[in-house]
Structure 1
Amino acid sequence: MLRASFTTEEAVYGVILVAGMIAVSGAHGATSLSVFWTVLVTVVVFWLAHLYAGTVAGHGLDKDRIVGLGESFRHALRRSLGLLLSSLIPLVILLLGAGRLINDRLTIWLALWMCVAVLAVLGYIAFRRRGAPWYIRLLGALTTAAFGIVIILAKALIH
């Protein structure tokens, strides 16, 4: 379940959300700890909203059978877990800064670049699962990572 949850569009969306939140909340000298809490709370709220919406949308009649609330919830949980899990690596990096193991500015940039790396891995896995040749997998990784790079460019231009 963990592997299937992490390699979903929700995981890609989650990493992009996290990168955007780091870029916005990390502006103007914010501490790693304040960015950590902003990102964590935002991701949890988005995840809960996604879980709720998926449960409600999946509940009811589906191709001549009734989908119960429990079944709908389990399906939505599997689908939405990637949104939550995709934030773990950047959040751990932000905690390293909060613990003063890395200075705040470097921590925020490191967490942003880690989002790009996670996006690249997700893109690569998505194309590998479809049996694409290595060069298409690489192109998929670069294309997916480009979303994070756009956020980093926006952060650089803002500063």
Structure 2
Amino acid sequence: MSRAPLERSGIVTAESVYGILLVSGMIVAAGGHGESSWAVFLSVFGTVIVFWAAHVCAGTVAGHGVSVGGEQTTLKTAFRQSLHRSLGLLTAALIPSAILLLGALRAVEDAAALWVALWFGVVLLAVIGYSAFEMRGSSLAMRIVGSLTTAAFGVAMIVLKAVIHG
């Protein structure tokens, strides 16, 4: 099965991995101080928006005026390209943020929302790792290694939360 639509939609990108780790880091930092799911959700949401905007700006500045095929990239083109590349930062935050929102709305307990959001981040990282290797035609063994390696970063965030906050 081809994963090209996932790649084109901004899901299987470095930015998606960074986005999930950013959200996980915010959950670890904000959730460790006894904050409610609502407070963690607002912190995550605000931080993701600021990082996304900074990423778009940085990509635009870095891409503007770069020579591609003998022509310099216009500011508009650099902005559009950066906006597209940065989509993964936003899309990666959607599911963990929705889980936090369930806690904020009291559909689940705060602590459960934080832990489920963190573990769902691990699952998303595993899917991204697997899909990236699958899109490139890697063997099943390499897809599993890619999945486990990418997921390990999410597990590292969970270990960090457990060590720091118990």
1:8 pairs with 2:13: yes
Confirm or deny that 1:80 pairs with 2:86: yes
What letter is aligned with 1:90? P
Q: Which moved more, 1:2-11 or 1:103-112?
A: 2-11
Q: 1:51-90, aligned counterparts within 5 Å?
A: 51-63=56-68, 64-90=70-96
TM-score when normalising by structure 2: 0.92
> Match of 1:117, as an amino acid?
V
Q: Work out the CA distance in 1 between the residues paired with 2:92 and 2:156.
A: 18
The 10-residue stretch of structure 1 (71-80 or 59-68) with the greater mean CA deviation from structure 2? 59-68
Q: Aligned residue for 2:52? A: 47
CA distance in 1, matches of 2:5, 2:46: 22
CA distance in 2, matches of 1:95, 1:21: 14
Provide the secondary structure at the position in 2 that maps to 1:110.
helix
2:28 counterpart of 1:23: yes
Identity of aligned residues (%): 51
Q: 2:76 & 2:102 partners in 1: Cα distance?
A: 38
TM-score in terms of structure 1 length: 0.96
Q: Which of 118, 123, 136 is the matching residue for 2:124?
A: 118
What RMSD, in angstroms, separates the aligned Cα atoms of the two structures?
Answer: 1.3
**Partner SS for 1:86:** helix
Post-superposition shift, 1:28? 2.6
**What CA distance in whole angstroms lies between the structure 1 residues aligned with 2:124 and 2:98?**
13
Which residue of structure 1 lines up, in the alignment, with residue 107 of structure 2?
101
4+ long deviations beyond 4 Å = none
Residue 152 of structure 1 is matched in structure 2 by 158
The equivalent position to 1:142 in structure 2, one of 125, 128, 148, is 148
Q: State the aligned residue count.
A: 159
| Change beyond 3 A, Cα 1:101–1:109 | same
Structure 2 unpaired stretches of 5+:
none
